[in-house]
Amino acid sequence: MIIVFFFETDVLGTQVVSNAVLRNRERIELFVHISTSEVYGTAVGEVMDEDHPLNPMSPYAAAKCGADRLVYSYWQTYNIPAVIIRPFNNFGPYQHLEKVIPRFITSAIIGEPMTVHGDGSARRDFLFVDDHCEALDRVLHSDKQSVIGQVINLGTKRDVSVLEIAEILKSIMGEAHCDVEFVGNRPGQVFRHTCDASKAESLLGWRPSTSFEDGLRKTVDWYVANREWWEHQRWMRHIPIVTADGKRELH
């Protein structure tokens, strides 16, 4: 049922928006579609540029890929003024507690172990939310003809493993608050994402200004100071997953 929701939201919802842009294209300067690096699947080389093969490894990622290619097809077929942005893993304040960084931080705050999928070796390129917003602002204020029809990655060119995140949080929050517990691997796990953001730099003059460690400290400070915002979401930190062999696990 959840898979159906993914496709209804990502694919059919994107088709509705694309049709609306098509009907009103004489009045719309730019349609910015926020896709995701998940469309790439696991990296086949050292870094992933916009020409990396699209190999989504989960139904969620496949729905995102469908939306991405749908917008591209509307640009190709109808010449709508679309640009596709593929951000790598975002993190920062206000993030949903099922995501790894807020899940780790809030677990440490309330004295529960940080649950690491598999052996913790899966690696991601993490982009602080403020840097993402700055990039989108540059897209909106760019020369529109330079970005229409483009696909643009947003990332840092640095990957960090899930286990490394846990270790860095131990150093920030204190060893006593940060036990680690290993659980099963996520179905459809992507094992490495490393962004090549050269196009964003050349087209937008953009590069991220926040290091992963600095962004993590800012994020920890926010969750510590805003417990009332996330306290009622604690249940979201553990999502029931059914594995390929039918086993039910909390992830």
pTM of the model: 0.91
Q: What is the pLDDT of residues 1-60, one digit of tens each?
A: 456 677 899 999 999 999 999 999 999 999 999 999 999 999 999 999 999 999 999 888
Average pLDDT, the chain: 91
The per-residue pLDDT for 117 is: 82
Q: With 90 as the cut, is the pLDDT of residue 237 above it?
A: no
Provide the number of structural domains found in the chain: 1
Query: Predicted confidence band at 215 (pLDDT cuts at 50, 70, 90)?
Result: very high
Distance CA 228, CA 83 (A): 37
Query: Predicted confidence band at 145 (pLDDT cuts at 50, 70, 90)?
Result: very high
Distance CA 40, CA 146 (A): 24
> At 187, which CATH number?
3.40.50.720
Give the range among 7-11, 173-177, 190-194 with minimum mean pLDDT: 173-177
Asked whether 250 and 238 are in contact (CB, 8 A), the reply is yes
Arithmetic mean of pLDDT, 125-142: 98
Arithmetic mean of pLDDT, 130-138: 98
Distance CA 78, CA 73 (A): 8
**Range of the structural domain that residue 32 is part of:** 2-250
Q: How far is CA 161 from the centre of its chain?
A: 15
At which residue do the structure tokens 């937008």 appear? Answer: 204
User: Both tokens of residue 60?
Assistant: 């969620």
Arithmetic mean of pLDDT, 137-154: 97
